[in-house]
Chains A and B, each alone.
Chain A
Amino acid sequence: MLLKAENLCKIYNRHQSDEMTAVNNVSLEIAGGEVLAITGPSGSGKTSLLSLLGCMSRPTSGRLQLAGRTVSQLPENFLAGIRREHFGFIFQHFNLIRDISVIENVLLPLVPTGMSMTQMKLRGQTVLDRLALGGKAKVRVNRLSGGEQQRVAIARALIADPQVLMADEPTAHLDSKLSAELLEILSVLHDAGKTILIATHDPSVYQHPLITRVLEMSDGTLRGAVRS
């Protein structure tokens, strides 16, 4: 079992007047190689759950295990290391740094690793070539089209060769052509053995043949086949 969540809870602004339970007692098991879609309306807690599973934040209570190791109570700097090594994120708004080039954006996750510049550049170029961006390495991100920016975001997520890819509403700002392109790329990655978690309310995504399991999120609780 790659990821195992037990009774995860995430409460924001605890003990305050605007206290909110985003994730309420969620248990979940995810095996390696799965493509999991988490659906639900806006505000159901999908992003918060993804954030917990991706070690972006610590749960208020509950336990998360990654490859058998309990990671839920680790200090922030350790979580950062785990994110670097095991997870790749594709954000809803891409979250690229607009004033720097494609290659600089893509290599950002590798900078804190201490890898040599030569190795980093080689990896970067390889990933960009795979996503048909090889010729645009030095171009500034704000000069790219929406589709190209999406591919840069994917390249950045893949640069550290993570086990798990997390995508938060990846098609929210894309047209149908680009959405199809994205799913095509995710298919290829799935075939290469990556585990993929997608938070989405787009039917064209969660109904795609690529998806191996669909779970529904509602008011912080999860419904569906929580076990792999």
Chain B
Amino acid sequence: MILHPGILALLVGSLVTLLLMLQACWLGIQILVRWDSGSSSEFQLQLERKTWLVSTLLNYALAFQILSGVFYLATLEDIHRLFVGAMCATGALNANLVGWLVLVVKVILFFAAALWVVINRLDQRTEETPLVRPKYLLLLLITPLVACDLYLQFSYFSGLRPEIITSCCGSLFSEQGESVASELAGAPVRQAMTIFFTSSGVVFSLLLACLLTRVALLRSLLFVAAVIHFFAALAAVVSFISLYIYQLPSHHCPFDMLQGHYAYIGYPLYAALFVGTLFALLPGLCQPLRRHAGLEQEIMRREKRWLISALAGLLIFLLISVWPMLFSPFVLLGD
């Protein structure tokens, strides 16, 4: 199974990422132990220069992680044909349940790495670089995740047995099943819509409010709302958004929309959701950092851009979700 080109490429990419992260970790430990911002020694200067290497390594690692996430899904789509009973990526994931874990780890890594990059940029733009220690401690936590990602991917792909009959999304996401996915699929559509649109409304209101005022509480609320909205959105995709995209009342699969015959609409949909959520989390996440005057300035400079990016991302997600509801001939809620 491992010798599939896509799988080989994924593993090579993940291995390269891990090697970069280990290098970053090694430098991070040196920096953590010997950093002295008050010192003018040559050694401190060298450490400062090494922080640029760590930043670069992390930037590349983040980029690879994002691409590998997309690539992982594309590979799952390609190999699903090898499994009896599989109709899309879900089938491939069900063939070896470790695959779901890989997906979860990749999502966590995306947010963790992206947050590290943002915090690092903030810190580097501040004269006193006050976040050096917390930043590199965080780095030491992210690296094991990357190793975990590689290990789980290897475990998943090497554990695939094409002769085993797997279940397709039809059974996983069917309303009759007993899994969480089935619960979501079977949830009453009106209620699911209400939750989704309410959480969207709350997030958009908070985004606009944060753009117009400087109240710290709003940003913290935005953080909470964005997290809730993220999960509500994913649930909504399974519950009813997918139905409108496929124009079938029983097709709840969140991965089929990544395929060509649905115009790959899944990619912009999920990309908008992830990017929008990331930027919506930032103002709230950076609240504790505002104690420091230098960081406060930097955050103030960038916050507007974050809020607008969040608005744009979540708006695009909403548009793509709502478009088939409004303009397709499919009618879910009888009128």
Chain A complexes with chain B: yes
Q: How many residues of B contact A (CB 8 A)?
A: 11
Residue among A58, A73, A75, A77 with the most chain B CB within 10 A?
A: A75
Chain B residues near A61 (CB-CB < 8 A): 40
0/1 string, A62-79, CB within 8 A of B gives 1: 000000000011111110
| A74 & B127 in contact (Cβ 8 Å cutoff) | yes
How many Å lie between the Cα of A128 and that of B38 in the bound state? Answer: 43
B216 close to A (CB within 8 Å): no
| A59 & B40 in contact (Cβ 8 Å cutoff) | yes
Interface set, chain B 36-61, CB cutoff 8 A to A: 37-38, 40-42, 45, 48-49
| B129 & A60 in contact (Cβ 8 Å cutoff) | no
B124 close to A (CB within 8 Å): yes
A173 close to B (CB within 8 Å): no
How many Å lie between the Cα of A61 and that of B38 in the bound state? Answer: 11
0/1 string, B237-275, CB within 8 A of A gives 1: 000000000000000000000000000000000000000
A14 close to B (CB within 8 Å): yes
Chain A residues near B41 (CB-CB < 8 A): 14, 60
0/1 string, A94-109, CB within 8 A of B gives 1: 0000000000000000
In the complex, how many angstroms separate the beta carbon of A5 from the nearest chain B beta carbon? 14
**CB nearest neighbor in B for A58:** B40
Interface set, chain B 118-137, CB cutoff 8 A to A: 124, 127, 129
0/1 string, B15-41, CB within 8 A of A gives 1: 000000000000000000000011011
Interface size class of A (residues with CB under 8 A): 10 to 19
| A75 & B40 in contact (Cβ 8 Å cutoff) | no
Chain A residues near B38 (CB-CB < 8 A): 73
**CB nearest neighbor in B for A11:** B42
Chain A residues near B49 (CB-CB < 8 A): 76
| A76 & B48 in contact (Cβ 8 Å cutoff) | yes
In the complex, how many angstroms separate the beta carbon of B295 from the nearest chain A beta carbon? 14
How many Å lie between the Cα of A91 and that of B315 in the bound state? Answer: 53
Chain B residues near A74 (CB-CB < 8 A): 127
In the complex, how many angstroms separate the beta carbon of B136 from the nearest chain A beta carbon? 16
| A58 & B45 in contact (Cβ 8 Å cutoff) | yes
Known A77-B124, A78-B127: A72·B40 in contact at CB below 8 Å: yes
How many Å lie between the Cα of A61 and that of B42 in the bound state? Answer: 11
| A60 & B40 in contact (Cβ 8 Å cutoff) | yes
| A73 & B40 in contact (Cβ 8 Å cutoff) | yes
Chain A residues near B40 (CB-CB < 8 A): 58-61, 72-73
Other A-B pairs beyond A75-B129, A78-B127, 5, CB < 8 Å? A14-B42, A72-B40, A75-B48, A75-B124, A77-B124
Q: Using a CB–CB distance below 8 Å, which chain A residues touch chain B?
A: 14, 58-61, 72-78
List 16 contacting pairs A-B, 8 Å CB cutoff, sorted by A. A58-B40, A58-B45, A59-B40, A60-B40, A60-B41, A61-B40, A72-B40, A73-B37, A75-B48, A75-B127, A75-B129, A76-B45, A76-B48, A76-B49, A77-B124, A78-B127
